Structure 1
Amino acid sequence: MLRLVTFALLACSSLARPSPRAGYVLHEKRAQEPSGWTRERRLEPDYVLPLRIGLTQSNLHRIEEMLLDVSHPESPNYGKHYKPEQIVDTFAPSDMTVDAVKAWLIDSGFSDDRLSLSVSKGWLQVANASAAEVEELLDAEYHVYSHPSGAEQISCHSYHVPAHIKEHVDLIQPTVHFDHSANRRQKQKRQNGSKDLIQSHLRSGKTLGKEVTVPTDLADCDTMITLDCLRALYSVDYTPVATDKNTFGIVELTPQAFLQGDLDLFFGNFSPSQVGVSPVLVSIDGGVAQTTEQGFNENGESDLDLQYGMGLTNPQPVLLLQDGDLVEGGSFNNWLDAVDGSFCTFDGGDNKEFDGIYPDTRRGGFDKPESCGIIAPPNVISVSYGTDEASVTLAYATRQCNEYAKIGMMGSTVLYSSGDDGVAGNGGECLSTSNRASANGKKFNPGFPVDCPFLTAVGATQIDPGNTVDDPEGACEQVIFSGGGFSNFFAMPSYQADAVTSFLTNHPPPFTSAQFNNSGKVRAFPDVSANGTYYSANYVVAVAGEFELVFGTSCSAPVFGSLITLVNDARIAAGKSPVGFINPAIYTDTFAGAFNDITHGGNQGCGTAGFTATTGWDPVTGLGTPNLTSLMDIWLSLP
């Protein structure tokens, strides 16, 4: 059964409000009402909110240009990545923006001594802001929401700012997203069967027991995927030599956690030299490799990611970015905070009165300062979790997407799996005509953050039944369907314009604008693919003391990330930089022969057959699957 990852949420809400007061304009409105939550009451007027205002940053209109300048192989600055302090200086909000927002707050009754600015200048925080003050400031109404699990959240449905301030503010928290608990002493119960915003892209097939027969001739790769199958599929024959200089990070969202016994069981069968080897734990906001709860739902994702990530890159140490404590769990922003201190909402989060998440004073919560900039961004970061684009606001998605660009500018490759439900969203839900997730929706439902143009989206392929590793793969289309499609948020990046335009022109999908954004001007995904298997051909993974067969795009992201880690090792050994953001390079003609083009299969969903894999890039498998030998030769030839 698919694991639903729970994390602490926030929201501010009113189902209907009168027109904003004079001079005010709508700034954000919740994308959709949270499933399973019930509005209980107005928030008490004296409740203290951790008010944080995200200021509009400088040079964002040039962020794609600057990212491509260090990422495109034809640029004279290829591989000349930014230092963290350069990122801060480049994107710090202007003095005009800081002064304008401060003046608004002071005019609204907040004294200057209640205002503080983060080191990056990206956020203004307001001390001791009561709900009544914030409601007046934002022309909003805050309510308390309850969940059957017993958890409570606060939120407003929408909020407003003065017209002259709108251009200076990206977003304000806490407002329309579910991120802040109204009862910090109450331990949130995790409901394995509830629909959550963030999901792992992994599913369980069947249990094999404690022992498996290791295939020696690759004859069983159409039914059981192992490390050797992947090496054969993707021409992997390289042993890392620069492991002390290279870094590979895998993100896991608590309560998902690996078991050392599972690693040893897997390595004992498939990579004996790694028995006893553990990932390097990077604890983010109290993240811990818990062992109390065991089983596929608690260990499947982490065990898969680490067993294959560590196995394919052996002897490269793998960094486990364990995200969030056992009470609240983690989200995408938590690990982004940890690898880039300038992204943190404010300095370290060490004042619990103003911090909506950490320190977490609830029983068992992480009661230390927020994990801000505790580690440099790894050269490769693999994430096998995702949500639906329609579940977040454009402002929220944009600010997070820009952070992926900044990490790319610093030399990191960020990979997200594309999802398991084809053109539908998590759980197979599609969009209504008003762009709300619905069981009866007909419109395609793209994912997030996989739709961000500044990261690499990884789809899923399969070895077709009865075929071998020497035969062309197809798109996953048995039980899971490789996530892919077109964003409703983000414009098409220049690096993929030719490939996507060619697909839309030469292989026009049989759908209308009522089903997907067919403007030809938006971000399309995935970018690449790797094996995700299908119902009878599954990854062999040790979980809770036994071998299981698992499948999903969760498999493809760490596999592709492992191969980029090997490329980085070779470049670092040759005295060169890691490859960083790979998309501008892999979409060029130079790299065309380095991918196995996937030309059959589809990604059905929303009552349709979905898109179809075809010659060249397509919104099912992207550019195709990697050939490491070719990729390494090309990347080693670059500066």
Structure 2
Amino acid sequence: MRCSLTALVALSLAVVSLAEPTLSPYNVHEKRSAIPIGWSHTRRHESAATLPLRIALKQSNIESIDEYLYDVSHPESANYGKHWTAGEISRKFSPSEESISTVRDWLVENGLASERIRVSSTKGWINVDVTVEEAERLMNTEYNVYTHVSGQEHVACEAYHLPEHISTHVDFVLPSINFDAKLKGRSSQLEPARAIGQPGVGITPKTAGTISQIVTELEQCDEYITPVCLRALYGLAYEPVATEKNSFGIVEYTPQAYLQSDLQMFAMNYSTDLLGLEPIMVSIDGGYAQTEYQGFEYNGESDLDLQYGMSLVTGKQNVTLYQTGDMVEGASFNNFLDAIDGSYCTFEGGDDYTQDAQYPDPYGGGYEGPEDCGTVTPAYVISTSYGYNEADLTPFYTARQCAEYAKLGLMGVTVLYSSGDDGVAGNGNYCLNPDGTQSSTGMIFNPSFPGTCPYVTSVGATMVKPNATVTQAQPEMACMEVIYSGGGFSNYFAMPSYQKTAVDYYLQNYPPNYPPNIWNSTGMSRAFPDISANGANYVVAVDGQFELVYGTSCSSPVSGAIFTMINDARLAAGKGPIGFINPTIYSAGFAGAFNDITEGSNPGCGTEGYNATAGWDPVTGLGTPNFPKLLEYWLALP
């Protein structure tokens, strides 16, 4: 199913008559639960005003994406590891001629002359300029003008409807329920998607301050995490041998940027094989390792990701830094995905420029080059330590992006995202209110995204228990210092089949004792995280001094490095990359491949959150990597 979001309903399409319009009942296609903070309804839009209506068409075969992905990702499949090419993906999912003709006929039947209707060159959009009156009649809606506190106006509707026989061919329509957040200040909290790199936006690492001593002893790993601690915790004793065939990518969003001087300071003390080395930087949409702004809020994330990601794969393995977005417009995850998969630029109508950065910069002053579209080769493993709250984005926006992660899995790419640092609350400790808005006083659990997408691997955080040593049998618990591991149950995505057995066991044996109106208790939604790794007390060189850093921002690149080393062993053996790992790691054949975490919880929203338990749990997932077992099990697969 398409991102496991909804089941498709088979519909019989009426034969189009040249004499009279096709009749079928209208259904709500999209609806907004609340007006975004800072906006207010001003008036009805003038009926004679012109709207540039853009209709995004659904893609062919997208309802079968689960089937295709599991066919190459499930360890019991005869096609395990037989990944697709980008060309095969593009051909499989392009919009059908039936969709184009059905929507075009509907517009003509409703009085729009055929010469007004334009199909984009990619066949992903149907564009038509209409009056507000025509748009309202077409979609059984009302267009209003909304005013922001800054004085800026925007046109939108509260909901819109489409005929049943049309809705199966349409993904979304613009303008509609989304708000154009391109406010003059550009740093407004109302632009969550493309402001992901701005300080304080989304998932960000936290610091407990600077440290003065150089720590190298394993006995101190409960207070200071360094690469030697992580190697001991997860059994990562491995030297890569297939480095020319392998690849590991770490994604950063400008203005977040690493400092080469910090990387070398870290290398001198904790990873001497990195001395003189730097990541291979790939600029996407004007991205560069800026130095104009410095401080933990600008350098902490990138310094952390690269120092630990590069250390654990050793200096023998190149690491690619995907630096995304310029200093003016910034970037969203969609901008990055456009660059690594050219088919995504137009997939399901292309990006939503009310959310995603547009290049060349339409305002001037930013990156003036063309948008990067299919210009970058994706690495076999891609780690991203950023994330939104699921509620920041519409279901259609998240579903479109989620489908892209499935496509990357089909191509053999492992995609990792941090699960969040605020337990069952969203970023900034925001929880949901009954009307769908978010606030610091909300009481409803607020899951993260993309961690809730069934086609990414969501990574939570653990910590070494106080006074424990890494040589003990069970030295770790859920992270409960400075941050809490993000986890819970999606409000947008259905439970994927690969995790049903594990999650059902958790819900039956450790049912959360919370009323059903504050969490998704249906037992049918995507649960996260999938796995976890240490996320506390990392020693990181930031702006010329060592700081103690916390967050699932630590956990994702560490996990990515471990999976990159597994890919190295498989490539050296003449096998392919592990690709989308979730069906494999949840399978019975991988039982015991992760260190089960059974202590701790993830508080938030005025509760203690969920508990870490035996087996999978919504705090630490399946547990932390056991590299020797994972290596053994994956080398046994085709």
Which interval holds the TM-score relative to the shorter structure?
0.7 to 0.9
Are 1:607 and 2:628 counterparts? no
Are 1:217 and 2:217 counterparts? yes
For 2:52 and 2:284, the matched residues in 1 are separated by 21
- Residue 399 of structure 1 corresponds to 400
Q: Quick one: structure 1 residues 447 and 573, their matched pair in 2 at CA, closer, same or farther if it must change by over 3 Å? A: same
For 1:47 and 1:291, the matched residues in 2 are separated by 46
Q: Quick one: structure 1 residues 430 and 102, their matched pair in 2 at CA, closer, same or farther if it must change by over 3 Å? A: same
Moved more, 193-202 or 317-326: 193-202
Q: Quick one: structure 1 residues 492 and 191, their matched pair in 2 at CA, closer, same or farther if it must change by over 3 Å? A: closer
- Residue 243 of structure 1 corresponds to 243
For 1:43 and 1:368, the matched residues in 2 are separated by 35
For 1:78 and 1:492, the matched residues in 2 are separated by 22
- Structure 1 position 539, deviation (Å): 1.0
527, 532, 557: which one aligns with 2:530: 527
Q: Quick one: structure 1 residues 33 and 470, their matched pair in 2 at CA, closer, same or farther if it must change by over 3 Å? A: farther
Q: Quick one: structure 1 residues 31 and 573, their matched pair in 2 at CA, closer, same or farther if it must change by over 3 Å? A: farther
101, 104, 112: which one aligns with 1:102: 104
Aligned partner letter, 2:99: T
- Residue 81 of structure 1 corresponds to 83
For 2:571 and 2:73, the matched residues in 1 are separated by 16
Deviations 1:423-448 (A, max 9, x none): 11122222223343233322211111
Moved more, 593-602 or 32-41: 32-41
Unpaired stretches in structure 1, ≥5 consecutive residues: 1-21
- Structure 1 position 130, deviation (Å): 8.0
Q: TM-score, normalization: structure 1?
A: 0.87
- Residue 8 of structure 2 corresponds to none
- Structure 1 position 151, deviation (Å): 8.1
For 2:82 and 2:430, the matched residues in 1 are separated by 42
Aligned-residue CA RMSD (Å): 3.1
CA contact (8 A) 1:197 1:388 kept: no
- Structure 1 position 214, deviation (Å): 3.4
- Residue 298 of structure 1 corresponds to 298
CA contact (8 A) 1:59 1:91 kept: yes
- Structure 1 position 59, deviation (Å): 2.0
The secondary structure found in structure 1 opposite 2:230 is helix
For 2:627 and 2:330, the matched residues in 1 are separated by 35
Are 1:188 and 2:181 counterparts? no
Q: Quick one: structure 1 residues 48 and 600, their matched pair in 2 at CA, closer, same or farther if it must change by over 3 Å? A: farther
CA contact (8 A) 2:330 2:357 kept: no
Q: How does 1:27-38 map to 2 (within 5 A)?
A: 27-37=29-39
The secondary structure found in structure 1 opposite 2:387 is strand
The percentage of aligned residue pairs carrying the same residue is 54
- Structure 1 position 357, deviation (Å): 1.9
Moved more, 560-569 or 233-242: 233-242
Q: Quick one: structure 1 residues 195 and 52, their matched pair in 2 at CA, closer, same or farther if it must change by over 3 Å? A: closer
Aligned partner letter, 1:608: T
Moved more, 459-468 or 515-524: 515-524
- Residue 576 of structure 1 corresponds to 575
For 1:193 and 1:359, the matched residues in 2 are separated by 18
For 1:201 and 1:303, the matched residues in 2 are separated by 15
Deviations 1:437-471 (A, max 9, x none): 23332221111111111111101000111111123
Deviations 1:167-215 (A, max 9, x none): 111123444334563x7xx562467999998534233324436xx5433
Are 1:307 and 2:310 counterparts? no
For 2:279 and 2:152, the matched residues in 1 are separated by 33
CA contact (8 A) 2:410 2:580 kept: yes
- Structure 1 position 330, deviation (Å): 1.0
- Residue 283 of structure 1 corresponds to 283
For 2:276 and 2:600, the matched residues in 1 are separated by 40
For 2:333 and 2:192, the matched residues in 1 are separated by 20
The secondary structure found in structure 2 opposite 1:385 is coil
Q: Quick one: structure 1 residues 346 and 515, their matched pair in 2 at CA, closer, same or farther if it must change by over 3 Å? A: closer
- Residue 505 of structure 1 corresponds to 508
Q: How does 1:7-22 map to 2 (within 5 A)?
A: none
Q: Quick one: structure 1 residues 250 and 33, their matched pair in 2 at CA, closer, same or farther if it must change by over 3 Å? A: farther
- Structure 1 position 323, deviation (Å): 2.0
- Structure 1 position 24, deviation (Å): 4.8
CA contact (8 A) 2:279 2:318 kept: yes
CA contact (8 A) 1:249 1:380 kept: yes
- Structure 1 position 219, deviation (Å): 1.8
For 1:520 and 1:332, the matched residues in 2 are separated by 29
- Residue 261 of structure 2 corresponds to 261
For 1:276 and 1:345, the matched residues in 2 are separated by 40
Q: Quick one: structure 1 residues 312 and 192, their matched pair in 2 at CA, closer, same or farther if it must change by over 3 Å? A: farther
470, 474, 477: which one aligns with 1:474: 477
Deviations 1:316-341 (A, max 9, x none): 22222222221121111111111111
The secondary structure found in structure 1 opposite 2:633 is helix
- Residue 16 of structure 2 corresponds to none
For 1:165 and 1:154, the matched residues in 2 are separated by 24
- Residue 66 of structure 1 corresponds to 68
Q: Quick one: structure 1 residues 42 and 245, their matched pair in 2 at CA, closer, same or farther if it must change by over 3 Å? A: farther
- Residue 56 of structure 1 corresponds to 58
The secondary structure found in structure 2 opposite 1:164 is helix
The secondary structure found in structure 1 opposite 2:504 is helix
